[in-house]
């Protein structure tokens, strides 16, 4: 391949990179994506999508087991792990090739290899240690994403100690599992394995599970998980892992109210889900003015780094580590480069987050505590699933919808939900918040009956003392 020059080159073909490239191409810029592994990145191949496929299998299994609650007789329910994993992999493959098609359709060149900044506006692509091609571009966008963080002494080995990658393609079911970290990734795997009958223990260093969520939601989730049989240890740290031939013994220190308690737990497998680190290495950043802070590239509101012509988006630039944040940042970045009018910086307070455990958790905006910390006088609304006809008809009477309003202006500051299908509901509030609706418009909105969404209406009414059904 001869030397080629582009308007825009995106390093990394994940949900940030490929969306950025398509938008750049739409804006008439000659664009290329450099991807070293799979188009679609972690999200499509090793993250969001394949885990949703696994969790869907678990959900159907769970519902089948409770079939008698619905008046159905299903006997001899079993699962085939191999098929569950195969299904998950084939879905990833299908979507990854879909991304390839989209890029081709938009005339974006895809270059296979590892991209590295060489000099100003220059990029070298290597494959298996050998140079493939030199490229030049007016604008280079780094979208290399992130990977699992490892803790000293607890480094994943791929056999006994897994990261999300091994956890997604088990060849056999472990009997027992220790999940370190109760963020979205840890809790989803805990939920999946627990549903399929594994004895799962979750260890969280902070005092509550799902620590980025509203405290009330964390509490609700904790109770729901424990009721379901998940074991949860909060304020706890795994201080040592003693690996045997086919199991590992973890030393867990729990910080009680008075004293520390140390327990030992022997499990077949351990999943490390203690956060992620940015993929900042081997990008040739050393010879540039690109600033890196704690494995994340520092950017301004238009995704510009310290080096002119070099931009960064997505997980590489820090939290929230979400595919939709990466995509949106990429679009802002290229629209700004193209000189589009009306481009607005990303408002991270309006990015919804979803966790697909059982029960599901979804939220957008400020938690009640964060709103109070910011000095807002708040109005809080709550509505429980038990008050919703559709939830009861579905056999999902457990959950909560919580709203946080600025008492002064009626601005919706945040919404927090736990329960069936809330990951599909949260977007209603996100649209409202982005349009800057107040409680008045939300109250005026007609919500269809019977739906779970009626709880969103009631939770708004409740914040103003007007709830009807509870």
Q: Which C-beta is closer to another protein: that of 262 or that of 409?
A: 409
In the bound state with another protein, the residue whose beta carbon lies nearer, of 132 and 443, is 443
Find the shortest distance in angstroms from Cβ 435 to another protein.
6
Instruction: Give the residue from 99, 137, 147 showing the smallest Cα distance to 282.
Output: 147
Instruction: List 6's β-bridge partners, or say none.
Output: 137
Of these residues, 114, 344, 449, 457, which one is catalytic? Answer: 449
**Strand locations in 128-169, DSSP E?**
130-142, 146-148, 161-162
Q: Is the distance from CB of 460 to CB of 442 less than 8 angstroms?
A: yes
Compute the CA torsion angle 103, 107, 110, 111 (nearest 10 deg): -170
Please state the closest distance from residue 343 (CB atom) to another protein, in A.
10
CB of residue 438 to another protein, shortest distance in Å: 5
Distance CA 252, CA 400 (A): 32
Nearer to another protein, 37 or 441 (CB): 441
Residues in Cβ contact with 339 at an 8 Å cutoff, skipping those fewer than 6 apart: none
> In the bound complex, what is the minimum distance in angstroms from residue 41's beta carbon to another protein?
29
Measured from the CB atom, the residue of 445 and 451 that comes closer to another protein is 445
Give dist(CA 100, CA 304) in Å, integer: 27
Residue 220 designated active-site: no
Dihedral through CA 431, CA 432, CA 433, CA 439, nearest 10? Answer: -170
Give the nearer residue to another protein in terms of CB position, either 3 or 444: 444
- The distance of closest approach from Cβ of residue 405 to another protein in the complex, given in angstroms and rounded to an integer, is 11
Q: Where are the beta strands (DSSP E) in 187-286?
A: 199-203, 231-233, 236-243, 248-255, 260-267, 269-272, 276-278
> With respect to another protein, which residue has the nearer C-beta, 261 or 436?
436
What are the structure tokens assigned to 263, written together?
């327990």
User: For residues 379 and 413, what is the distance between their CA atoms, to the nearest angstrom?
Assistant: 10
Interacting residues toward another protein by CB under 8 A? 342, 344, 409-411, 435-438, 440-441
Q: How far is the CB of 28 from another protein (least distance, A)?
A: 21
Provide the annotated active-site residues.
449
């Amino acid at each position: 391949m001869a030397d080629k020059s582009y308007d825009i080159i995106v390093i990394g073909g994940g949900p940030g990179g490929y969306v950025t490239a398509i938008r750049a191409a739409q804006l008439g810029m000659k664009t290329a994506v450099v991807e070293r592994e799979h188009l679609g990145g972690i999200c499509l191949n090793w993250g969001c999508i394949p885990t949703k496929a696994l969790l869907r299998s678990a959900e159907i299994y769970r519902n089948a087991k409770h079939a008698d609650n619905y008046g159905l007789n299903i006997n001899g329910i079993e699962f085939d792990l191999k098929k569950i994993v195969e299904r998950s992999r084939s879905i990833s493959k299908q979507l990854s090739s879909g991304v390839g098609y989209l890029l081709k359709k938009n005339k974006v060149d895809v270059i296979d290899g590892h991209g590295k900044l060489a000099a100003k506006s220059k990029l070298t692509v290597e494959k298996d240690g050998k140079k493939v091609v030199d490229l030049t571009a007016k604008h280079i966008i780094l979208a290399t994403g992130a990977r699992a963080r490892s803790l000293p002494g607890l480094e994943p080995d791929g056999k006994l100690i897994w990261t999300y990658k091994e956890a997604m393609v088990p060849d056999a079911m472990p009997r027992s599992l220790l999940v370190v970290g109760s963020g979205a990734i840890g809790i989803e795997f805990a939920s999946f394995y627990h549903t399929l009958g594994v004895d799962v223990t979750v260890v969280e260093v902070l005092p509550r599970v799902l620590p980025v969520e509203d405290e009330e939601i964390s509490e609700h989730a904790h109770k729901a998980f424990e009721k379901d049989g998940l074991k949860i240890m909060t304020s706890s740290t795994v201080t040592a892992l003693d690996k045997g031939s086919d199991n590992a013994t973890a030393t867990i220190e729990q910080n009680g109210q008075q004293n520390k308690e140390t327990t030992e737990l022997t499990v077949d497998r351990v999943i490390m889900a203690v956060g992620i680190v940015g993929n900042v290495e081997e990008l040739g950043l050393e010879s540039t003015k690109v600033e890196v802070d704690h494995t994340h590239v520092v950017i301004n509101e238009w995704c510009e780094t310290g080096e002119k012509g070099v931009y960064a988006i997505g997980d590489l630039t820090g939290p929230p580590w979400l595919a939709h944040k990466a995509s949106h940042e990429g679009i802002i970045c290229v629209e700004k480069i193209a000189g589009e009018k009306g481009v607005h910086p990303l408002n991270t307070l309006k990015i919804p987050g979803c966790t697909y455990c059982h029960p599901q958790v979804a939220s957008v905006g400020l938690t009640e505590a964060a709103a109070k910390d910011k000095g807002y006088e708040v109005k809080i609304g709550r509505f429980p699933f038990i008050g919703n006809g559709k939830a009861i008809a579905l056999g999902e009477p457990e959950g909560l919808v919580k709203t946080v309003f600025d008492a002064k202006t009626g601005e919706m500051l945040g919404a927090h939900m736990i329960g069936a299908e809330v990951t599909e509901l949260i977007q209603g509030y996100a649209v409202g918040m982005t349009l800057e609706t107040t409680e008045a418009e939300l109250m005026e909105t007609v919500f269809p009956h019977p739906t779970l969404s009626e709880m969103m209406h009631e939770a708004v009414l409740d914040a103003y003392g007007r709830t009807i059904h509870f």
